[in-house]
Every structure is written in structure tokens, then in C-alpha cells.
Amino acid sequence: MDSSNHSSLAERLKTEARRLGFELVGIAYAAPADGFDQLQDWLARGFAGEMAYMHRQNEARRHPKSILPDVKSVVMVGLNYNPSTISREPAASAGVAPIGKFKSALAVGSRLNGKVARYARGADYHDVLREKLDRLLAWVRDEIPEANGRGVVDTAPLLERDFGRRAGMGWFGKNTMLINKRLGSYFLLGALLLDTELELDAPFTPNHCGTCTACLDACPTHAFVAPGQLDSRRCISYLTIELRGPIPEELRPALGDWAFGCDICQEVCPWNRKAPADSEARLQPRPELEALDLIEVLGMSDEDFRRRFRHTALWRSKRRGLLRNAAIVLGNIGDRSAIPPLEKAISDPEPLVREAAQWAIEAIARRADLSSVRSL
């Protein structure tokens, strides 16, 4: 195939990707990942915490050929998940009194609801991305029957943000997110690895963070050790989703009312202020995930949890992780009406839930004591 055909194939592939709902699409060359050495440093410093898969799959992240041996092109796609119906709450730390040495992430006026990160408020994005990538690959095979390819979502060992930058999509913000000038950072990355040579996009080289430090300043757990360097062990997303054991006590108050994930360092980013809303119906927030009913979650059996969360991103935390988070957020909210369900949770079969419930009861009691002292 001559180069003019390659070029037109790239353009038609991009048109098809946009038709499938990917608002961003770019093509990167299949060479070792630019950020592999930084990843080694990050892992060596222990910043991955207990995410053992990051170590297990480490070598595989060096080059996309670990996923597709004859890979020639990496088609990067971005799926906007910025909800069109969201209540645009301010950065949660604004106007909230500090708890201990941390700023609280607890929003003023919240009651017994927990917050869920935006990407997780609709259907499981893995399913949505995979289905679209399969359709894109089917389109490529219609065009080039001998082509081989593989769709990749974040479960495969690809340094997606590296390839997104190389495909011209945007720059790495100080909050570690890939930021696009038009979409901001509320988009999900996927990749289609192909053994076909395609016309490449130019890598994105400028950085438009400038002197801004809003994300670094707003993080309630001080998880950024430097601009662009995240210690996951302190990040609420890691603590509420990836961590299987108890959340360190000193970090619990800083969770505020985040029950699954955290968006604070994206909410404060000026590049997200005018980000357009997405058009993918399956990613639109479901009311019950926009405001997670913590008492209801705390009372869920395994079967309830499966029925409710099986096809959502919350499935990842497993029942015991989500109930742990719900108990801690109830402790942070400090409403005494949560005590009876928390007392019930003290006999939960999972030690993780029992311990968090006990902590929450004590946190509510401490808060009640403080308020009675204040009213004297």
C-alpha cells in the first residue's frame, strides 16, 4: 500500500472514531513509552502503594509490542465523560474548616450522601470503551482484511497518557492528568493497537499549566510530592478504590464525603471550567450514583451489592471496600442518625467494615462532644 493510501486510511479511521463518539483521536508511533523511566522511579519510591499489578506488569509497559507483537501504530481515542447534568459543586475545600492538619474534602451542607468520582457515575466505562474500540477494529478489518489489532482499555499494560501526548492530544498537567485544550481532563483514554502503518500525528509538546498550582493547593491529602508527581498512597482515589485494607486513620478525615474516588484536583483546574458535556448516554450520571445513599450502602448484602453495582465502576472496590468507605464518610459527616446503622455494621462479617464502623461511631461521638462543649 502506498503512502497516500496510508494517509487517507488514517483520516477515514479518525472520521469513523468520531462517528463512534470518540471526541479525541490521534495516532502515535509504536515505540518505547517516553515515561517508562519515570515509571521506574515512581515505583521505586513506593508511590504505587499496594497496586501489585503495577509492579507485575511493569516490564510490559515499556513497549506496546508486549500487547501486540507486530504493532506499528497506536490509535489513541478519548471519550468525554463530563456529565451534562451535574451539579457544579465548588471545590470541596472552599469555605470548609480544616480538620487537623488536613483540609477537609467535605462539602458544606451535605447530609448522608457520599460522592462518587464523575467517571464512575454512569455505566462501567470499560464496557463502553471496549464496545466502541471493537467496532473501530471491525471497521479497520473491513478496510484492510489482513490487519491485526487489539483494543486496549486501562486493564492492559500501556502507558496510555504517554501515547495520548504522543498522539497530539494534550499535555501532562501538574495533577498528572492528560489535559486537552478543548476537553480539559474529563475524558477516558482508550487505544487501538494496529499492525498497520498509518500517518502519525505530531506529539503535543507545549505545557499550558503555566504558573497555576490550583490542583496542588486543593488536594486535601497533600498527595502531590511535586508538580506532576503523585504519591498514590495518599490519594483518595487510591484509598477508596485500590486499597484493600484499612484506610490509614490520619487520612480518613480528609476523605470528607468522597465515597468512591475524588475529582478535586480536576474540579479546580481552569481547563475544565468550559469543558463541553459528553454525549454518551451510558456515561450520564445515574441519580443513585451522583449521591450515594450511605446508609443504604452500609446495609447491603453481597447480593444487594452485586445487583446494584455489577456493571458500574464501583464494582472494583468490592462490597467490603465500599462499605468501609461509606462508614468513614458517615464518620466524617458526623450526623448522629448514622449511629444505629453503624452499630449494626459492627457485626458485619468483614473485619474491614467492622473496624471502619467502630471508627465512625467514635468520630461522631467526638464531634458531638465537641459541639456540646461549644454550646456551653
Binding-site ranges for ligand SF4 (CB under 6 A): 173-175, 179, 209, 212-215, 219, 221, 223, 230, 235-237, 262, 264-265, 268-271
Query: What are the strands of the beta sheet with 187-194, ordered from one edge?
Result: 24-29, 73-80, 187-194, 149-152
To ligand SF4, the closest distance from the beta carbon of 119 in angstroms equals 11
To ligand SF4, the closest distance from the beta carbon of 218 in angstroms equals 6
**77 vs 241, beta carbon nearer ligand SF4:** 241
Let me know: does 198 contact 13? Beta carbons within 8 Å.
yes
Report residue 243: phi and psi, to 5°: -70, 125
Let me know: does 286 contact 308? Beta carbons within 8 Å.
no
CA separation (Å) from 42 to 13, 198, 251?
Answer: 35, 32, 21
Q: Residue 353 has what DSSP assignment?
A: H
- Is 142 one of the annotated active-site residues of the chain? no
To ligand SF4, the closest distance from the beta carbon of 188 in angstroms equals 16
Torsion angle defined by CA atoms of residues 206, 208, 213 and 214, in that order, rounded to the nearest 10 degrees: -140
Residue 14: its H or E element:
helix 3-19
Annotated active-site residue in 34, 127, 154, 335: 154
To ligand SF4, the closest distance from the beta carbon of 125 in angstroms equals 17
Q: How many CA atoms lie within 13 A of 73 on its CB side?
A: 26
**160 vs 195, beta carbon nearer ligand SF4:** 160
To ligand SF4, the closest distance from the beta carbon of 224 in angstroms equals 6
**35 vs 270, beta carbon nearer ligand SF4:** 270
Q: Which residues pair with 179 in a beta bridge?
A: 171
**203 vs 270, beta carbon nearer ligand SF4:** 270
To ligand SF4, the closest distance from the beta carbon of 220 in angstroms equals 6
Q: How many CA atoms lie within 13 A of 282 on its CB side?
A: 15
Cβ-based burial of 102 (10 A; exposed 0-12, middle 13-18, buried ≥19): buried
Q: If we measure between CA atoms, which residue out of 247, 262, 250, 253 comes closest to residue 355? A: 247
Q: How many CA atoms lie within 13 A of 344 on its CB side?
A: 12
Q: Report the Cα 370 to chain-centroid distance in Å.
A: 35
Nearest residue to ligand SF4 on Cβ basis: 173
Encoded amino acid at 63, one letter: H
Cα separation, 229 vs 311, in Å, equals 31
Let me know: does 108 contact 96? Beta carbons within 8 Å.
yes
Report residue 39: phi and psi, to 5°: -60, -40
To ligand SF4, the closest distance from the beta carbon of 252 in angstroms equals 13
**74 vs 313, beta carbon nearer ligand SF4:** 313
**174 vs 252, beta carbon nearer ligand SF4:** 174
Active site residues: 154
